[in-house]
Amino acid sequence: MERLSYLFIFFILLFSCEKGTGEFVFKGTVLDATFNQGLQNATLSLYKVPIGTSDELLVESVTLPANGTYEFKVPREKMERYILRVNKALYFPIEKEVYYSELSIKNPNEVNLSTKAMSWAKIHFKNNNPSAIDHFRYIKQEGLTACLSCCPSTAQDFYGALDTTFYCLNNGNTNYSLFYWELNTPNNGLKTTYTTAFDTSLIEVICRSAATLLGNLNFLTSIVKIIL
């Protein structure tokens, strides 16, 4: 009977130890989607967040090789979640959360990530002969949306004197375009530029004021009347 008791205690201790052992393996590829290759020399960091806290504890950080592959092996711990973060100059940062309940201890946890290179559209609007009645409007047609540094996708209006320059963030090697109107004039059109990765490309609209056009129209009307 005593021997059975010892065996029972032994098996309890054995399974108790095994329950907490093992490790989680995170692996995958980080893709440079602009050039369709691995995101070489980017920094990939793995953080863990303990249950009931917002603390982000650094587990490990690596520099990605040419093919963009990575692998992390971490001791099995009861965490709320893990966070993978990727950063590289002139690329959009990436963040991916992986919750503890999603993790497998039997198989590698594959997490593939992708990002794009940055580029910028330099927008310049100018009215050479401004008047108080001038009204200029534009709406973005193509370009990056839904980011903190993105230019708005809704109609933007300017009145009177106009000479402004601003920069709009975009995905590298893609188009950026806008449609503009000089209200109360026949002038309108589409302006497009190809924003090369890591570079800035120009879109420029030089306006003629409504007052100037109206004056020209009145002058031409007067000439016609004289001729007739």
| Residue position matching structure tokens 């534009």 | 138
Q: What percent of the chain has pLDDT over 70?
A: 82
Q: Is 4 left (phi over 0), alpha (psi -120 to 50) or beta?
A: alpha
Which ranges of the chain does DSSP label H, i.e. alpha helix? 2-19, 210-227
| Domain end (from 92, 115, 138) | 115
How much helix, strand and coil, in percent to the nearest 5, is found in the chain? 15, 50, 35
Q: Is the pLDDT assigned to residue 15 strictly greater than 50?
A: no
**Distances from the Cα of 133 to the Cα of 80, 159, 216, angstroms:** 60, 7, 15
Which ranges of 1-81 does DSSP label H, i.e. alpha helix? 2-19
Q: What is the mean pLDDT of residues 7-18?
A: 43
- Per the model's pLDDT, the better-predicted residue between 36 and 217 turns out to be 36
Residues 104 and 194 placed together within one structural domain of the fold: no
Asked if residue 165 lies in contact with residue 124, where contact means CB atoms within 8 angstroms, the answer is yes
pLDDT tens digits, one per residue of 144-171: 998 888 999 999 999 999 999 999 999 9
CA 228 to chain centre: 62
| Domain end (from 67, 89, 115) | 115
Cβ count within 10 A of residue 100: 16
28: in domain: yes
58: in domain: yes
56: in domain: yes
Residues 110 and 135 placed together within one structural domain of the fold: no
Q: Is the pLDDT assigned to residue 123 strictly greater than 90?
A: yes
State the DSSP code for 64. -
Q: Name which of 44, 117, 58 is nearest 86 in CA terms.
A: 44
The range of the structural domain enclosing residue 150 comes to 118-216
What amino acid is encoded at 83 in this protein?
I
Q: Is the pLDDT assigned to residue 200 strictly greater than 50?
A: yes
Residues 105 and 138 placed together within one structural domain of the fold: no
**Distances from the Cα of 66 to the Cα of 41, 84, 156, angstroms:** 7, 19, 43
- Which tokens is 174 given? 């893609």
E strand or H helix at 61:
strand 57-63
Residues 135 and 103 placed together within one structural domain of the fold: no
Asked if residue 86 lies in contact with residue 93, where contact means CB atoms within 8 angstroms, the answer is yes
CATH classification of the domain holding 91 = 2.60.40.180
Asked if residue 95 lies in contact with residue 84, where contact means CB atoms within 8 angstroms, the answer is yes
Q: Is the pLDDT assigned to residue 22 strictly greater than 90?
A: no
Residues 111 and 147 placed together within one structural domain of the fold: no
Picking from 14-23, 86-95, 176-185, which range would have the lowest pLDDT averaged per residue? 14-23
pLDDT tens digits, one per residue of 83-113: 999 999 999 999 999 999 999 999 999 999 9
- Which tokens is 185 given? 């004039």
| Domain end (from 94, 115, 136) | 115
Mean pLDDT (the chain) is 88
Q: For the chain, how many structural domains are there in total?
A: 2
